[in-house]
Amino acid sequence: MVRWLSNWLSLTPQCEWVAYSMVGLFQAAILLALVMTAVAVATWAERKIAGRIQDRLGPTRVGGRFGWLQPVADGLKLLTKEDLIPANADSILFRLAPYLSFAPVFAVFLALPFSEGWVAHRLNSAAFFVLAVLGLEVFGIILAGYASGSKWALLGAMREAAQVVSYEVPLAFSAMLPIVLAGTLDLVAIGEAQKGWFWNWFVFHDPFTFIAFWIYVTCAVAGTNRAPFDLAEAESELVAGFHTEYSGFRWSVFYMGEYAAMAAVSGLGVVLFLGGWNGPVPLVDWLGLTSEAGAITGFFGQLLGSINFLFKCTIGVVFMIALRWTLPRLRIDQVMSMCWKYCFPLVTIVFLGATLWTLFLPDGLLNWGHPKAATREASVVVYSAEDPAR
């Protein structure tokens, strides 16, 4: 794409950075539009689902029948709110914190494949990059809590730090299972390894990955600071936790960060465990919409794949929303023991089990043709046949 753009603009090689920046900005703009739309829909869904679960109607008035204009009304209200910075606060850090918590979450989408070949930047170690960047979000929240100059905020930030730093460990461990099964850190290759029917998805690969998937779900909910793990903003104890002192637009950046993080962990979970852009039925192959069949048909195949991916992400986000309004909040010691006494030992056992399973039963119990065994063979062959002069 950079090549094409620089040829089209007839740029000299010295000015190629212009092309790079333009392509980068273009991709970032598309992703930002997508993430913002997802956030708007998710806030509406949150209100609507919360209402239904609590036997209310939720928003009904704004914008016709289902209150679908509610996010716009929310946004306008937040923009017109007074922007307050407490006299006690460290004003530079206070202003910086919301962006520090949103930017890493957004960066996750750069490496997330939406469909076959639809990824902003294909990284060789994409899964690792995503996990690393997701872990940065917590710093913005710590900073917000610290810079607010308020005890509620400080307590909330400390809880958040302890919680997120702890839950990163079982989260990364459970994400290791699909990586081991696919034999690569490349998210695109991990998605391709789950092609075909839904029993090729890594959740259904063996009992261990099935358990690991639910550990991933637990840790992802905890990592995004959602109920029942929302201790950092426990409104019954800490007013609003780390964002007590924030209002207006700065608060809404935190809010966007939270919903974008939900979408990001759902996306990562879908790629790692739920087959990525592959549907439950190999419909794309039946219709012949593969990229080999030509550019246009390949495009429709990719479109179908991205619809698959976004649909599965939506289910993930809706599940997290429903969980928030169903379960009561845990205490901080319960959160900690949940992580270190249950999730972490379980995930290590499961990890060992899954590696042994792939070692002794590489084709599954009933010998259904898993493409994964074939790909691993292939990668070994490629590895040994690689140019040794490198």
Binding site for other proteins (CB under 8 A): 2-3, 13-17, 20, 88, 90, 92-93, 96, 123-125, 128-129, 131-133, 135-136, 138-139, 142-143, 145-147, 149, 154, 157-158, 161-162, 165-166, 168-169, 183-185, 333, 336-337, 340, 344, 379, 383, 386, 388-390
Min dist CB 259 to other proteins, Å, is 21
Min dist CB 252 to other proteins, Å, is 22
Nearer to other proteins, 133 or 222 (CB): 133
Residue recorded with tokens 């703009």? 29
319 with 146: CB under 8 angstroms?
no
Min dist CB 386 to other proteins, Å, is 7
Nearer to other proteins, 24 or 75 (CB): 24
Nearer to other proteins, 36 or 93 (CB): 93
Nearer to other proteins, 326 or 348 (CB): 348
Nearer to other proteins, 127 or 217 (CB): 127
E strands within the chain?
none
- How many Cβ atoms sit within 10 Å of the Cβ of residue 210? 15
Nearest to 128 by CA among 288, 312, 272: 272
Dist CA 157 CA 144 (whole Å)? 8
* Residue 337 CB partners (closer than 8 Å, separation 6+): none
Min dist CB 163 to other proteins, Å, is 10
Nearer to other proteins, 39 or 193 (CB): 193
Nearer to other proteins, 146 or 259 (CB): 146
226 with 330: CB under 8 angstroms?
no
Dist CA 172 CA 189 (whole Å)? 18
C-alpha triplet 330, 335, 336: angle, nearest 5°: 155
Min dist CB 158 to other proteins, Å, is 6
Nearer to other proteins, 155 or 203 (CB): 155
Nearer to other proteins, 69 or 93 (CB): 93
- How many Cβ atoms sit within 10 Å of the Cβ of residue 309? 27
Nearer to other proteins, 326 or 337 (CB): 337
371 with 278: CB under 8 angstroms?
no
Min dist CB 230 to other proteins, Å, is 19
Dist CA 97 CA 137 (whole Å)? 10
Longest CA span, the chain: 69
Min dist CB 135 to other proteins, Å, is 4
Task: Output the six-digit token pair for 297.
Answer: 């048909």
Residue 372: CA count within 13 A, CB half-sphere: 29
203 with 177: CB under 8 angstroms?
no
What are the two backbone dihedrals, phi and then psi, of residue 9, each rounded to the nearest 5 degrees? -85, 0
Min dist CB 195 to other proteins, Å, is 21
Task: Output the six-digit token pair for 100.
Answer: 């520090």
What is the three-state SS of 121-140?
CCCCCHHHHHHHHHCCHHHH
The string of DSSP letters for 171-237 reads HHHHHHHHHHHHT-S-HHHHHHTT-SSGGGSGGGS-HHHHHHHHHHHHHHHHHTT-TTS-GGG-HHH
Min dist CB 18 to other proteins, Å, is 8
Min dist CB 126 to other proteins, Å, is 8
SS3 306: helix
